[in-house]
Structure 1
Amino acid sequence: MASIAEMFHPLQAYLHNSKRKFEEKWRRPLVERGKLDDFKILQTLGTGSFGRVMLVKPKKDNNSSYALKMLEKAHVVKTKQVKHTISEIKTMDAFEFPFLITLEYFFKNNVYLCLVMPFINGGEMFSHLRQQKKFSEELTRFYSAQVILAFEYIHYVGIVYRDLKPENILVDKDGYLKLTDYGFCKKIDDQRTYTLCGTPEYLAPEIILSQGYNKSVDWWALGILMFEMAAGYPPFYARDPMKIYEKIVSGKYIPANHFSKSLKDLIGNILQVDRTKRYGVMKDGANDVKRHVFFKDTLWSTILFKTAKPPINNYTDKTDDKGSIDALGEMIIKKSSKNLLLKNFRTLNTICQCLRVQASKNIRVK
């Protein structure tokens, strides 16, 4: 079993240094880097109401691959997501952690906001879980450890994530994870927030009951994720979302028969409706989870620095997969000689300043 000193002291120093870097990035103006003409678009990776994510390569560096997320400014304004979108960009730009997607380039043109991120070519955890039906406890442990470390970092810098689910976790070709999609991230520091957001099966009781919440909701979601990884289905499920909410608030669920005693115990301590008893939220914070017997053989520093050998690492390299073009169709890039919705995106730095100064106020950003 790893010593307490080995497990925690290196990480605390790492977190302290990482927070300083985060604060520096969070305070600085958001500067555009790059332009659309710098990249060669290869294929469509995915679509959504926001637009599309494209696989691209820099024209001057054919050895690097990136994911280009193109957001139509008109849609962002129509759905009143200007503030949230800029907050997501700002958060992605400030994050710097091994298990979090970061922003490599950012620019806008007359039609689009463009976010360029590293291309993670192992696919979504959701796809792997659906294919394998369920994960072994060894793989569940390995993946959970990375999410725990990511949450430690996210919470240490004052952010609440609020959208943990298999669809928002990418697996790289070596078998390590990257959390993505920061649309629900919010900088709250030690404050509470009341927004109802997230995926029904992963919502914490305090969100459903409109009680006001903070990082506690992320730890609850970790318990849901661990259960779903090891069982192949979430602990609280029904066709009707209202039935799901009733089950969540009751806190009653049935562990899968094949769960080990230690896994049952850890999930039970995380899925506590009473936040004062929930692992991850109490006095010792994440250490209550990390010191649990389920992780007794986990060397946390080897996870953090990616020197631990993943239980499985034969993930397919998606860069040569041409099927997504046929399935989704090639994207027609819209062009305009006029800078559309200029007043809404005239100065991103002004919006970012409002996000920092008015984070606790309900304001409309123009």
Structure 2
Amino acid sequence: MITRQSRLPSFKNPPPISTPSSPKEQKKLWKTNFGFQNDISFISNRDKSPEQSSQKKSNSPQSNSITRKPFQLQLGIEQQMLNHHPKSRERRPLKNTIYSRPISRLIEDSRTTRMPSTDHEINRGNFKFHYVLGKGGFGKVWRVELVKSRKLYAMKEMSKAKIMAKNSVNSVLNERILLSQLKHPFIANIHYAFQDREHLFLVMDLLSGGDLRFHIGRMRRFSEQHTKFVICSILLALEYLHQNGIIHRDIKPENIVLDRNGYPRLTDFGIARVIKSENASETSGTPGYMAPEVMFRQNHSVGVDHFALGVMMYEFMMGKRPYLGKSRKDIRDAIIAKQIQLKKSDLPIGWTLEAADLINQLLQRKPQSRLGFNGTQEIYAHQWFAGFPWKSLYEKQLASPFKLSKSCEENYIREISSEHDSLDQQIQENSIKLRQETVQNQFQNYSYVKEQQVTIKRF
């Protein structure tokens, strides 16, 4: 058996201790071995510059009387501290950062991250995650709280790997650019945008009342009062967009969400575009709500939003879309086969003939024949809107017919949270590619901090 010599001092044979023979030698031993007289001056001087320390030392009457050994002893201790100090400042690998924590751990973590010195340094750690509000094609929408101000927002968390897999990098960047230039009481306004290695984050107004697809699923059909409230609200939002040269191109119930007071807001500007004369090749949208000129690859303008508005109004009244089909081809064939024309006999109980006339004029297949071709004022002038309090609606003084309860919000959250995301092979491969700087450069300049903007008013 091999025995190793211990490095610890032996207490069986302690080293001899020399006892000073006189008080003078005792004082000298106290100075040379421990240097306590120099302790306070050293601690007070160690954070100062060498010039300040040397100047004070030369002016001190005790500096010449104290031997060098105590200072060397303390210097050795300080040197060890300096040797260890930089290691605590070394950059830790990504696996130890806040971005790698599971979301559940992030929500339950009671510690708050230090707020940045400026708003431009905003990041995920500045928010407290509450629960999922919705799901989209690229990720989830969270209810979050800004730790510093305790304000509530909706945070859109989008996977970069999914965005790349669906060739939608330009769409998400376009959405951020457009939203940063817009502000209106009937759209979901942006407040912050930032990113980490794997995700993009869009912080917007909190809309917790559920989208219209959820509500029409519960109610089957809307009353004429509910429909007029929604259509008028979205018309105000569309007029604002069109005045600023933007077409939304994806008007549908899923993209209209109620706030906590029951007011509709227009969301999802991923395929919205600035109006241009030549855009026949851009056919993005949802087939059931897509205008014929987009379906048949023709140049299009603001009329595509008016057509989609008519499709929604028809769906609210009849409980189904006017043109049905399992594929885009089926829907296109249905549009070619028949021009929708509602009659008095088609109306459900409680609906007026003026409502049917408005739907018929909005669903005209030719853009030149469609109501609103010469401007939104054509739609406002329709008889169905006669006497409507537009100013009260814009200022949100008009009571909403949607009565939202806490149980309704909980049912909406439970329904959308029951879905699960699935990652295919391409998305997994893109996740690995995100380690490359060239791939990350696709998402550069995504960050945004809300600035004061002026809302365009009509009234």
Please give the alpha-carbon distance, in whole angstroms, between the structure 1 residues aligned to 2:410 and 2:383.
42
The structure 1 residue matched to 2:138, chosen from 50, 68, 71, is 50
Structure 1 stretches lacking a partner, 5+ long? 1-30, 331-335, 353-366
Which residue is equivalent to 2:223?
A: 136
Q: Offset of 1:228 from its aligned partner?
A: 0.9
Which residue is equivalent to 2:399?
A: 309
Change (3 A) 1:112 1:201: same
Please give the alpha-carbon distance, in whole angstroms, between the structure 2 residues aligned to 1:253 and 1:316.
39
The structure 1 residue matched to 2:358, chosen from 266, 271, 275, is 266
Say which SS state the counterpart of residue 41 (structure 1) adopts: strand
> What stretches of structure 1 move > 6 A for 4+ residues in a row?
317-322, 349-352
Which residue is equivalent to 1:289?
A: 379
Change (3 A) 1:344 1:94: farther
Which residue is equivalent to 1:38?
A: 126
1:177 aligns with 2:302: no
Q: Offset of 1:329 from its aligned partner?
A: 7.6
Say which SS state the counterpart of residue 346 (structure 1) adopts: helix
Say which SS state the counterpart of residue 142 (structure 2) adopts: strand
Say which SS state the counterpart of residue 123 (structure 1) adopts: coil
Please give the alpha-carbon distance, in whole angstroms, between the structure 2 residues aligned to 1:39 and 1:89.
20
Q: Offset of 1:142 from its aligned partner?
A: 1.1
Partner amino acid, structure 1, of 2:370: R
Say which SS state the counterpart of residue 221 (structure 1) adopts: helix
Q: Offset of 1:194 from its aligned partner?
A: 3.0
Q: Offset of 1:315 from its aligned partner?
A: 4.5
Please give the alpha-carbon distance, in whole angstroms, between the structure 2 residues aligned to 1:159 and 1:41.
33
Task: Map 1:177-256 to 2 at 5 A.
Answer: 177-188=264-275, 192-253=279-340, 255=342, 256=346
Q: Offset of 1:151 from its aligned partner?
A: 0.7
Partner amino acid, structure 2, of 1:265: D
1:340 aligns with 2:431: no
TM-score relative to the length of structure 2: 0.63
Change (3 A) 1:95 1:342: farther
8 Å contact 2:195–2:446 — kept in the other structure?
no
Which residue is equivalent to 1:358?
A: none
8 Å contact 1:52–1:71 — kept in the other structure?
yes
Change (3 A) 1:344 1:254: same
TM-score relative to the length of structure 1: 0.78
Q: Offset of 1:96 from its aligned partner?
A: 0.2
Change (3 A) 1:46 1:308: closer
Please give the alpha-carbon distance, in whole angstroms, between the structure 2 residues aligned to 1:156 and 1:90.
17
| Identity, % of aligned positions | 29
Higher relative contact order (CA 8 A, sep 6+): 1
Q: Offset of 1:148 from its aligned partner?
A: 0.8
Change (3 A) 1:214 1:128: same
Q: Offset of 1:75 from its aligned partner?
A: 2.7
Q: Offset of 1:205 from its aligned partner?
A: 0.8
8 Å contact 2:193–2:201 — kept in the other structure?
yes
Change (3 A) 1:151 1:121: same
1:257 aligns with 2:257: no
Say which SS state the counterpart of residue 89 (structure 1) adopts: helix
C-alpha RMSD of matched pairs (Å) = 3.0
Partner amino acid, structure 1, of 2:242: H
Please give the alpha-carbon distance, in whole angstroms, between the structure 2 residues aligned to 1:351 and 1:57.
21
Change (3 A) 1:73 1:151: same
Partner amino acid, structure 1, of 2:365: V
Structure 2 stretches lacking a partner, 5+ long? 1-118, 422-430, 448-459
8 Å contact 2:339–2:365 — kept in the other structure?
no
Q: Offset of 1:348 from its aligned partner?
A: 5.6
Which is greater in Rg?
2
The structure 2 residue matched to 1:300, chosen from 366, 386, 390, is 390
**Alpha-carbon displacement from aligned partner over 1:190-243 (angstroms, at most 9, x marks no partner):** 654431111111111111111111111111111111111122211111334322
Please give the alpha-carbon distance, in whole angstroms, between the structure 1 residues aligned to 2:409 and 2:149.
15
